[in-house]
Amino acid sequence: MPDKAPMKALAERARAVLPAGGFGNFDPSIFIREGHGARVLDEDGREYVDYLIGSGPMLLGHGHPEVLEAVAEQLPRGMTFFANNAAGLELAEEICRAVACAEQVRFLASGGEADMYAMRLARAFTGRDKILKFEGGYHGMSAEAQMSLAPTRLVNFPQAVADSAGIPEAVRGEMLIAPFNDPEYLESLLAEHGDQIAGLIVEPLQRIIPPEPGFLLTVRNLCDRYGIVLIFDEVVTGFRLAYGGAQEVYGVTPDLCTLGKVIGGGFPLAAVAGAQGYHGPFRQGHRRRRQVADDARHAVGQSGRRRGGPEDDGNPAPRRRP
């Protein structure tokens, strides 16, 4: 007799190989089999209206015909090249047209990775170490981001409370926490620490809390006053709150913004977007990698001459004049 409840068996298997028996985001007893449009089916055949939409990026629903057509067209041509491609360039151009702060785009794999890079870019650009975030804001799983999302103990602002084990005390010491929608406190905090802060990262619509009128503009002005890089985490709001994201809705332009899987139709893709000047470390990294590659090619060539290549007779290569 066939199993009438396959999810029960799947849950038993999952407990053996997955921490707490799940992927870490949802009820581990539920296994989704497929999705169509706004609805999903579990492995027992029950249907649900999908309000999760993949934690946000499945804005068009599951199996949208245009997305399926684009994927089916690309798959026979290959999936990962580790090199430039025309489709990626076209997407970068569209992001730059749509998003107010975007002059250049660096693609990444996840929104959390994009947030991590944005904070690093702020530090590289300013030469400062501290990052300011707001209590309750979610910016991925990096050590800096896992601070005061849902603090388990009450401390005075601007002290940070680590949300996870395994975060060094040195990282916590470089994070400052402020209450969202409190411009007076923020101004007093920056009056004391503003010249130490590299970047301020904020969800312009924090989880389900909208900004009070004028709050984001105050944040923008204070960042300008103290030379702080303003980062909008638009992983949730980008291309959803409006086509131009929260920047379009609230009329405030950050220095950098981060975008998540919505730009890839739900596939693992993200980006850091901003003015050209903030992307300098990416260009420097490319030059360093290119120099390493050139050095490696030179070393291989020298080794080949010393050891004898396929057409070498084993005799030392003639010395060349410099």
Instruction: Report, as an integer, the average pLDDT of 3-17.
Output: 89
Question: Taking all residues of the chain, what is their mean pLDDT, rounded to a whole number?
Answer: 88
Instruction: Report, as an integer, the average pLDDT of 223-247.
Output: 97
Locate 35 and state its tokens.
């999705």
Our answer to whether residue 138 is catalytic in this structure is: yes
Taking alpha carbons only, the member of 53, 55, 31, 29 closest to residue 41 is 31
Locate 62 and state its tokens.
């599951």
Burial class (CB in 10 A: 0-12, 13-18, 19+), 145: buried
Instruction: Report, as an integer, the average pLDDT of 95-123.
Output: 97
Where in the chain are the domains?
22-78, 101-281
In tens, the pLDDT along 33-49 reads 999 999 999 999 999 99
Is the pLDDT confidence value at 108 over 60? yes
- Percent of the chain clearing pLDDT 90 (strictly above): 78
Taking alpha carbons only, the member of 151, 150, 138, 93 closest to residue 233 is 138
Task: Using pLDDT thresholds of 50, 70 and 90, give the confidence band for residue 50.
Answer: very high
Q: Give the model's pLDDT for residue 312.
A: 40
Q: Give the model's pLDDT for residue 4.
A: 60
From the candidates 138, 250, 255, 278, give the one annotated as an active-site residue: 138
Q: Give the model's pLDDT for residue 225.
A: 98
The architecture of the domain spanning 101-281 is 3-Layer(aba) Sandwich (3.40)
In tens, the pLDDT along 74-99 reads 999 998 888 999 999 999 999 999 99
Task: Using pLDDT thresholds of 50, 70 and 90, give the confidence band for residue 3.
Answer: low
Our answer to whether residue 8 is catalytic in this structure is: no
In tens, the pLDDT along 264-292 reads 989 999 999 999 989 877 766 555 444 44
Q: Give the model's pLDDT for residue 39.
A: 97
Q: Give the model's pLDDT for residue 5.
A: 76
From the candidates 130, 233, 255, 278, give the one annotated as an active-site residue: 233
Range in 28-42, 149-163, 296-310 with the lowest mean pLDDT: 296-310
Q: Tell me which of 217 and 302 has the higher pLDDT.
A: 217
Q: Give the model's pLDDT for residue 284.
A: 64
Taking alpha carbons only, the member of 124, 283, 106, 101 closest to residue 199 is 124
**Long-range pairs of 243-252 with CB within 8 A, sequence gap ≥ 24:** 243/98, 244/98, 244/99, 244/100, 245/98, 245/99, 245/204, 246/204, 246/205, 247/99, 247/100, 247/101, 247/204, 248/100, 250/204, 250/211, 250/216, 251/217, 252/204, 252/216, 252/217, 252/219, 252/220
Q: Tell me which of 192 and 306 has the higher pLDDT.
A: 192
Strand order, beta sheet including 32-36: 32-36, 39-42, 47-49
Q: Give the model's pLDDT for residue 285.
A: 53
In tens, the pLDDT along 168-177 reads 999 999 999 9
Our answer to whether residue 233 is catalytic in this structure is: yes
The architecture of the domain spanning 22-78 is Alpha-Beta Complex (3.90)
- Percent of the chain clearing pLDDT 70 (strictly above): 86
Determine the Cα angle at 235 with ends 59 and 127, to 5°. Answer: 165
Is the pLDDT confidence value at 26 over 80? yes
